[in-house]
Structure 1
Amino acid sequence: MPINIAFYVHHHGSGHLMRCLAISTLLTDCQITFLGSRLAAYSSLIPDSINCIELPMDTPSSADRHYAEGNPVEGLHYAPLNVEGQRQRTALLTEFFNRVSPLLFVVDVSVEVALLARLSGVPTIVIKQHGNRQDLPHQLAYQSAEVVLAPFSPMMKQEETPWLANKLVYTGGFSRYPLQVNSRSGEQANRAAVLVGAGGTSLDATFLIHIARQAPDWIFEVVGKLAGSTTDCVPTNVIWHGQLDDPRLILERCVLVIGNAGHNTVMEMAALNKRFIVIPEQRPFEEQLIKATILDQLALAYVVHPHELYQTNWPAVLTATAAREPHWQGIVDEEATARAAQLIRQTYGSIYNSGDYSLSADSNSAVEGSRSN
């Protein structure tokens, strides 16, 4: 009997997809399906062995003449009325649930999708993110899950309610980059990388021109798709690389990195042991703000808030950050993706009563040892 594992991949930014890819590549004995919107945009990164089901967006279009936000539903985050895309995606999801069985569904992330799976009788593993998520919808999603998987180190945990702590498993942080204890040999002084995320950022062309003029002794290597013009009055100490599939060589030669507090960005900084200036962007449930606060408390990053970008003494901040030696030890774990894959197999085996899918004693202990106390 095939081992069917499906992942719901949220479309905001690229972090959810990269996380699902990292885990699924270790489930080589399973039949993997990704379900999500805008998966086609990342087709070059998704192996042919993964079945992809493209879901329409659940936001209203001009064709939705009877669209209404509807009365608030306390247990859901998003429940509009009369949106054709929402009806279609729900139909595709439930058709998949009906057609593929037995199935374990990993939700990264959506309260509504997690609850729809539970209502359809499909067991789930729900991914935990940072942020203020004590609201009723999140609590319902976590309660509905067999396991709640936190893809980061217990060093970065938040205070949780006892019942959630008991079903929460910290796999450790993981990154597409191998862990580097010492990445200093190729660094060039006064050279900074700027990572412009895909999920919305205040690091636009206007700001980058501002910081480059304020710190003319520095070279800024900019990676990502920028908002604003990059052609007018560009300082000579700015290098625009645009969107790159892998900026590792740039990151390794820069003495520090400026970026947002997206999960994958933080994990990449940890893996490469980089000095980091973090700009936490506004996200639902204050996800990036809380993550940046944790990094500040652990002395892993210098925090500059978006409203401070044009009031900051950048030459002083750059110099001070370059003089710091980061200590990211324990944030990224080389066994984290394997631990996540083991947890998925263990959960599948416990639900479907198959010893073939259970973990070995050593693997089981590793997962159990990652539970919150």
Structure 2
Amino acid sequence: MSFTIAFYVHHHGSGHLMRTLQVARQLTAYKVILLGSQLQGLEEKNMENIQLIHLPADVPDTAMSDNTGTKAPDTFHYAPLNIEGIRDRMAIMAELFRKEYPLLLVVDVSVEVTLLARLCAVPTVVIRQHGLRDDLPHLMAYQSAEILLAPFSGDIYIGKKDWIYNKTVFTGGFSRFSRAAEKTPEIAKHVVILIGGGGTSINTSLIKNIAKACPEYIFHVVGVFKQDQSLPNLFWHGKVANPQSLLESCQFIIGNTGHNTVMEVATLNKRFIGIPEKRPFQEQKQKAESIQHRNGIKIIAVEDLTTQDWKAIFEQLSYQLPDWKGIIDNGALFRMAQAIIDTGNNFFKI
């Protein structure tokens, strides 16, 4: 008897989906189902063993009453009342658990979905992230899971070595990029500024001020912003499907310290100016703390962005070789996929 592997994909930012797709592509011998609210644009025809199930949004419908009840109980992070989308998405998932069983659910990430699966007698694998996650909802989710997977190295783990640590498999880091044998040559004084989709303090005003302060540097902005060229050393590329060659060609990368950005910069072994955004549970702040003492890396707090001598920062980093040792592991994706398979095999005998 084989089993299905389903992934719940959180919809904030693009990192959860990007990571899920990489892992799912390692599971070609299994039926894989992706559940999420931001799966539009994916082509199932390019993923032969992967099925998509689109979930309705879990935010209030303006056509209904905006009364979402009292504050969520301490057992949940997000559990408002009177929202049709939540009822519908939970019903879809519960029906999937019944119809597709035997099924293993990988949750990246949601306390509420983890607990729903447990109540439906479905075993779960929970993806861990950096951050202060010792609150009651996280503890309940971690207790409910069969295994915890951290998509990074134990070298950058921050926290207690307690039962949560002992339940965690640290797979090592990976990204969508790979180090090519013939990589694009690096060009001195070229800088990429990465703008993610999860909200950022790296706005157009800041970018223009940095470019004006460093006229001898060339800046390439990659991400959600797309503007006309207003400065001779500032280029707006908008969203780029595969920015690897552009990133490889630059001497420096500026970006937020979200998980995928850090792993991509580490894969390409680039000098990095990291800006930790305010996120729930201080996720980006803790990720920044885990790498800030390495050569070739400069962490700048959001509140300090407007007071920096950017030219001095670039000059200082240019004399340092970037140190990303131990961050990326070529066997990480295989290790994560195998841990998922092994967990399923513990329940469902082939």
TM-score category (smaller protein): over 0.9
1:179, distance to aligned residue in structure 2 (A): 3.8
* Residues 294 and 324 in structure 2, CA contact (< 8 A), matched pair in contact too: no
1:41, distance to aligned residue in structure 2 (A): 3.9
Tell me how far apart the structure 2 counterparts of residues 269 and 64 of structure 1 sit (CA, whole Å).
44
* Residues 7 and 35 in structure 1, CA contact (< 8 A), matched pair in contact too: yes
Tell me how far apart the structure 2 counterparts of residues 244 and 36 of structure 1 sit (CA, whole Å).
23
Instruction: Give the match for residue 236 of structure 2.
Output: 240
> What is the CA deviation profile of residues 44-86 of structure 1, one whole-angstrom value per residue up to 9, with x for unaligned ones?
8962531000111111121221632424301100110110111
1:291, distance to aligned residue in structure 2 (A): 0.4
Residues 299 and 290 of structure 1, relative CA distance in 2, 3 Å threshold: farther
Tell me how far apart the structure 2 counterparts of residues 317 and 299 of structure 1 sit (CA, whole Å).
13
* Residues 67 and 83 in structure 1, CA contact (< 8 A), matched pair in contact too: no
* Residues 296 and 320 in structure 2, CA contact (< 8 A), matched pair in contact too: no
Residues 45 and 57 of structure 1, relative CA distance in 2, 3 Å threshold: farther
Tell me how far apart the structure 1 counterparts of residues 76 and 58 of structure 2 sit (CA, whole Å).
14
Tell me how far apart the structure 1 counterparts of residues 45 and 177 of structure 2 sit (CA, whole Å).
15
* Residues 261 and 280 in structure 1, CA contact (< 8 A), matched pair in contact too: yes
| Letter matched to residue 303 of structure 1 | I
Report SS of the residue matched to 2:2.
Answer: coil
Instruction: Give the match for residue 220 of structure 2.
Output: 221
Instruction: Give the match for residue 25 of structure 1.
Output: 25
1:342, distance to aligned residue in structure 2 (A): 0.6
| Letter matched to residue 197 of structure 1 | G
1:246, distance to aligned residue in structure 2 (A): 0.9
* Residues 294 and 322 in structure 2, CA contact (< 8 A), matched pair in contact too: no
Residues 208 and 46 of structure 1, relative CA distance in 2, 3 Å threshold: farther
Residues 300 and 82 of structure 1, relative CA distance in 2, 3 Å threshold: farther
TM-score, length-scaled by structure 2: 0.96
1:351, distance to aligned residue in structure 2 (A): 1.5
- 1:1-373 aligned at under 5 Å gives the runs 1-43=1-43, 47-65=47-65, 67-160=67-160, 162-179=162-179, 186-226=185-225, 230-231=227-228, 234-299=230-295, 301-354=297-350
1:298, distance to aligned residue in structure 2 (A): 3.7
Residues 132 and 69 of structure 1, relative CA distance in 2, 3 Å threshold: farther
Tell me how far apart the structure 2 counterparts of residues 19 and 111 of structure 1 sit (CA, whole Å).
18
> What is the CA deviation profile of residues 181-224 of structure 1, one whole-angstrom value per residue up to 9, with x for unaligned ones?
996x7111110011111111111211111110011010001100
* Residues 131 and 282 in structure 2, CA contact (< 8 A), matched pair in contact too: yes
* Residues 76 and 137 in structure 1, CA contact (< 8 A), matched pair in contact too: yes
> What is the CA deviation profile of residues 252-304 of structure 1, one whole-angstrom value per residue up to 9, with x for unaligned ones?
11001001111111111111101100011111111001101111034452011
Residues 206 and 35 of structure 1, relative CA distance in 2, 3 Å threshold: same
1:163, distance to aligned residue in structure 2 (A): 1.4
Tell me how far apart the structure 2 counterparts of residues 30 and 299 of structure 1 sit (CA, whole Å).
42
For structure 2, the residue ranges without an aligned partner over 5 or more in a row are none
Residues 143 and 274 of structure 1, relative CA distance in 2, 3 Å threshold: same
Where in structure 1 do 4 or more consecutive aligned residues deviate above 6 Å?
180-183
For structure 1, the residue ranges without an aligned partner over 5 or more in a row are 355-373
* Residues 130 and 158 in structure 2, CA contact (< 8 A), matched pair in contact too: yes
| Letter matched to residue 335 of structure 2 | R
* Residues 55 and 89 in structure 2, CA contact (< 8 A), matched pair in contact too: yes
1:158, distance to aligned residue in structure 2 (A): 1.6
| Letter matched to residue 282 of structure 1 | K
Report SS of the residue matched to 1:268.
Answer: helix
Report SS of the residue matched to 1:176.
Answer: coil
TM-score, length-scaled by structure 1: 0.90
Matched residues, number: 350
Instruction: Give the match for residue 362 of structure 1.
Output: none
RMSD: 1.9
1:157, distance to aligned residue in structure 2 (A): 0.6
1:161, distance to aligned residue in structure 2 (A): 5.2
Tell me how far apart the structure 1 counterparts of residues 205 and 17 of structure 2 sit (CA, whole Å).
29
Tell me how far apart the structure 2 counterparts of residues 46 and 73 of structure 1 sit (CA, whole Å).
42
Query: Percent sequence identity over matched residues?
Result: 45
Tell me how far apart the structure 2 counterparts of residues 6 and 250 of structure 1 sit (CA, whole Å).
34
| Letter matched to residue 98 of structure 1 | R
Residues 110 and 325 of structure 1, relative CA distance in 2, 3 Å threshold: same
Report SS of the residue matched to 1:107.
Answer: strand
1:160, distance to aligned residue in structure 2 (A): 2.9
| Letter matched to residue 121 of structure 1 | A
Residues 195 and 45 of structure 1, relative CA distance in 2, 3 Å threshold: farther
